[in-house]
A and B are shown apart, each in its own frame.
Chain A
Amino acid sequence: MSDELIAASNLISLLIEAQEDALATIKAGNKPESELRLQLLGAKSELTRLTRQIGRVPKEERQKIGPVVTEIKRSIEDALNAIATDAPPKNSDWVDVTTPGIRPPEGHLHIVSQAIMEVTRIFERIGFTRVRHPEVDWDWYPFESLNMPAHHPARDEWETFFLEYPGKPGKDPHKQKIVLTPHTSNGQVREMEKGKLPIRMINIAKCYRRQIDVSHTPMFHQFEGLYIDKDVSIGHLKGVFDHFVKQFFGPNRETRLRPFHFQFTEPSFEVDINCGICLGTGNLANGSPCKLCKAGWLELGGSGMVHPVVLRNGGIDPDIYSGFAFGWGIERTYMMKSGTKLDDIRLLYSNDVRFLEQF
């Protein structure tokens, strides 16, 4: 016998053919049962010949074959028993039903992929479509176009990686410097430039910042929401956030806005979510203070109404259209939800299989 491999699916189809042949032969009814039994199930039967090929199926797939053979043999036995005049009482084979079952293969999606899929679905439900914009971009999109000219102190918030220019810069003032995007907000003006209104987008991408510690990795992911239409209000922004947190974190979760400042939104907000343990009261049922949140609320991320300068940079008239935007960390948001108790975000990118296989 050859030791070359054959695919499980091929062997199974041969086995099924053999089964069909055998059942047809029994049905034809021109031979006695005992002779048929030898011919169809004996050592020289086609079924036995095929069964011996199992060793050539790749190890990982072999477990698929056993149940098929058992089932085929049983069906042939049953057919033979049915035509036997002197058949013995039905003798069902004993099976140890406590034997561990045969499981399907188990793979694992990384937490980041799981979170991205979940976030995408939640926003799709209210008409936001996922798009992709560059992770490596001209300085213009993540900074200048967002109302942050060179040397502006607001840029301090982002420890930005710059790239060596590939060759010599041309004359285009918007194409002088290349950065690793420190946030997904570079997608805002890029999305506006597509020239279609209204806009409801979710941009999910890798981001980069020059920092590493237990809560920062130099690469991470953000999801950026952008909604632009006529008469977009702060109330709409709250509605969308409430939709998201209820779907993502649970129906009794709520958001609140606090004043903040970003150059590319006005007004700007810090978005908090009520603590999942004490639901925003800061106290547990027994009156003791909640240890998770300290004051009832946890910071989710930043957001705001799109700044008129940004709208203009995207070719949109701020006197006709308004909108809101937000950009939150995928890893951070997911860790707040799952209660994974992950105390070091760097684990996510360590790619230790003992970690990856837990999810």
Chain B
Amino acid sequence: MNILVPDIWLRKYLSTKATPLQLKEYLSLCGPSIERIYGEGEETVYDIEITGNRPDAMSVMGVAREAATILPRFGLPATLTGDPYKEKVKFPTVKKPLPLTLKTDAELNPRWASIIFDNVTVGESPEWLRHQLELSGLRSLNTVVDITNYLMRAYGQPAHVFDYDLIESHKMTLRASKKGEKLITLDGKSHTLPGGDIVIEDGSGKLIDLCGIMGGENSSVTNNTKRVMLFIQTYNASHIRKTSMALGHRTEAAGLFEKGLDTELVTPVLMQGMTMMTSLTGGSVASNVTDLYPKPFVGEQVSVSRKKINSYIGVIPDKEIKEILVSLGFTVTMHADTVSVRVPSYRRDIAIDVDIIEEIARIHGYHTIPSKLPDHAPPVTMPDPQLQLEEQIKIRLRDWGYTETYTYSMISEEQMDQFNLDKTRAYTIANPLSAEWMYMRPTLWPSMLATVKTNLERVKNGKFFELSMSYLWRPGDLPAETPMLLVAYTGDKFLEAKGLMEALFDLYGIPEPEYDTTAHHDWLDPSRTLLLKGFGSVGLLNTTLSKTLGIHSPVTILELNLLAFAAQAKAGKTYIPVPKYPSIIEDLSFIVPDKFEIGRLLSAMRKAHPLVSRVSLLDVHKETRTVHIEYQDPAKNLTGEDITPIRKKLIALAEHDFGLTLRQAAITA
């Protein structure tokens, strides 16, 4: 939380010669972070970030207290003045007090303090008060309200005022609300309560305060108010938090109360408030103070071992440890092996040993701790082969001329529908930010094709890839996050896509997957569809889908499941001796029937004989296919006689198993 603190106000509680820039530098290093300084001279205002665990510092006094500890560490003397904990708290006794009957609940309201004033004149605040509030970013309304805001900013303790005469029967009951009860807060907003909220009802049973968040409109102070009840409390923090979040009503008061405030600060602040009410409104005290505080504060005792202090920070002399902790308000006892402290009432964030270490370390100064790399032996760990493979593939694709994309993991309902994806078996965002991002994508296709579409006009021969998770459905469980590679080409690039797939399989020593050329793929054109059993698919986007998507030119896709792929990848390459003897090469041309799938013939030939070392497709001409064959014997020079029976076998294979006719055989070497 950020608060604005005017320099003139800060110096009311802090006596120091430190300049605003010094304050900014040194407080930021050891305490609350002064993020910006606005204005100059009398108008100087600090914008300070206070972390959520330090409600005690969310005030001018709180910042002054930190500064009084920190500045002397940098050689700048500083003292705290007007510390409310040290001011004398004594309330007057009134002979004929105005009546008030009340009932509260110590669990919801650990401390209740209030006092009533008569003959109050509600008017404009004096110039100095208005000015300080305005510099602090608080709007001046009238004397009474301004006093409550002043108390909150000065001490971090919200205050509230009621028009005493609007409290029916002068009776107040603080309780937990029932679900569905209604209340209008003084900003005019109407609320239906979720239940369990801290509220006050008056003698007529109507709700007059949404405690800790905002007062009720029906009991608020107006310009006609004569009798005012000033009301300082602490509340059960988690109740305030729940109500404020449930109603979406976030006020500065709620932001403070939900962090847990100091019960010991209640009466000192009431004392300050009383002084201001009597001097600024002309009002007089018309009741005795009511102070209900059944469980007074007992300071926690926390210890930390010397060993742990040394291990975290390094060796720090006893004297310095003690000085630091005392300056922060702790009562310190030094033992041989431990340091033990009693925690002051305003530091409820200190509960365990490392909390004390933090206090010592930050005031000692993080900037003074020497920086060094760990000198312990590093653990022996194996790098994740999946991550290595994914990185290698990305680099390969870049070097082969592909451009990587990163799209959001979430897709829209429209995209789910376009691809006919099952919305009942997809992970749905319960609180989406936008209709664009509703489902965790079960596939990368919709995102990739959206990318292709937006880039169609911008690039010729686009070659894109993305390597990201798909989120696959697992009932009652987290999604199976599956790394997928999706490559897209603008244009009909079937062989290029297939070639990329072949190259990747080769690279990792994975046998080419079983092809399924007949199976149907929802999104691919049947004339150019190749399913790679268990690994993915290669193909041309079909026209039905491309029409739906509004893509009016061909797009080719390669999809690979990299989890399945990595599972088959070989870790290294096996050495094959470089041939000592020359190979014999020959080309065989065959006449093939319509729709002949040459891949099957090539695979069969490769397996046909151990001396066949390579088989590739050399030429495609009308119905003729020329196959390029290399024979190699690692042990000797091959002769024409050696290969004759093999050739016969290959030709027989082509003719008998595949129904082809030999057209020509040509031995090259």
Contact = CB atoms under 8 A, between A and B. Distances in A.
A137 B469 CA distance: 14
A214 interface: no
A233 B404 contact: no
Interface in B369-416: 369-374, 376, 378-379, 381-384, 386-387, 391, 394-395, 397-410
B409 A151 contact: no
A308 interface: yes
A230 B374 CA distance: 11
Contact of B51 (A104, A130, A138, A260): A260
Contacts, number: 272
A168 B379 CA distance: 40
Contact of A127 (B358, B378, B616): B378
A109 B395 contact: yes
A108 B31 contact: no
Interface stretch (B199-207, B220-228, B451-459): B451-459
A135 B354 CA distance: 30
A217 B434 CA distance: 12
A109 B429 CA distance: 30
A109 B476 contact: no
B118 interface: no
Contact of A107 (B308, B401, B410, B622): B401
A216 to B, nearest CB: 11
B142 interface: no
A353 B462 contact: yes
A7 interface: yes
B631 interface: no
Secondary structure of the A contact surface, majority rule: mixed
Contacts of A112: 406
Interface in A152-174: 153-154, 161-164, 166-170
B107 to A, nearest CB: 17
B312 A322 contact: yes
Interface stretch (A37-45, A71-79, A83-91, A239-247): A239-247
A110 B404 contact: yes
A233 B313 contact: yes
Contacts of B408: 217-219, 349
Interface string A205-248: 01010111000011100000001011111111011111100000
Contacts of B42: none
A14 interface: yes
B401 A105 contact: yes
Contacts of B669: 17, 20-21
Contacts of B259: 153
A353 B374 contact: no
Interface string A233-267: 11110111111000000000000111111000011
B428 interface: yes
A36 interface: no
Nearest to B396: A107
A164 B427 contact: yes
Contacts of A17: 585, 668-669
Contact of B430 (A113, A162, A229, A259): A162
B658 interface: no
B238 interface: yes
B429 A107 contact: no
A343 interface: no
B481 A135 contact: yes
A108 B463 CA distance: 10
A314 interface: no
Contacts of B431: 161-162, 210
Contact of A130 (B367, B374, B387): B387
Nearest to A154: B52
A353 B481 contact: no
B409 A206 contact: yes
A267 B369 contact: no
A110 B395 CA distance: 11
Interface in A102-160: 104-110, 112-113, 117, 120, 126-127, 129-132, 134-138, 151, 153-154
A191 to B, nearest CB: 11
Given A129-B381, A137-B478, A266-B354, A107 B403 contact: yes
Most chain A CB within 10 A, of B357, B404, B473, is at: B404
A356 B391 contact: no
Contacts of A5: 495, 620
B245 A113 contact: no
A30 interface: no
Contact of A235 (B238, B314, B463, B478): B314
A161 B454 contact: no
A261 B451 CA distance: 41
B175 interface: no
A257 B366 contact: yes
Most chain B CB within 10 A, of A167, A227, A234, A239, is at: A234
Contacts of B371: 235, 238-239, 241-242
Interface in A299-351: 305, 307-308, 322, 348-349, 351
A110 B403 CA distance: 8
Contacts of B405: 110, 351, 356
A55 interface: no
B407 A351 contact: yes
Given A2-B620, A10-B628, A259-B31, A234 B361 contact: yes
Interface of B: 24, 28-31, 33, 51-54, 238, 241-242, 245, 258-259, 308, 311-314, 352-355, 357-358, 361-362, 366-367, 369-374, 376, 378-379, 381-384, 386-387, 391, 394-395, 397-410, 427-434, 437, 440, 451, 454-455, 458-459, 461-464, 468-469, 471, 473-479, 481, 495-496, 499, 585, 616-622, 628, 668-669
Closest 9 CB pairs of A and B: A127-B378, A105-B401, A261-B51, A4-B620, A267-B358, A238-B371, A2-B621, A107-B398, A257-B366
11 contacts: A4-B621, A162-B431, A170-B476, A198-B379, A211-B433, A234-B366, A235-B372, A238-B371, A258-B366, A259-B362, A353-B455
Given A161-B432, A217-B408, A322-B311, 4 more contacts: A4-B620, A126-B378, A233-B313, A260-B33
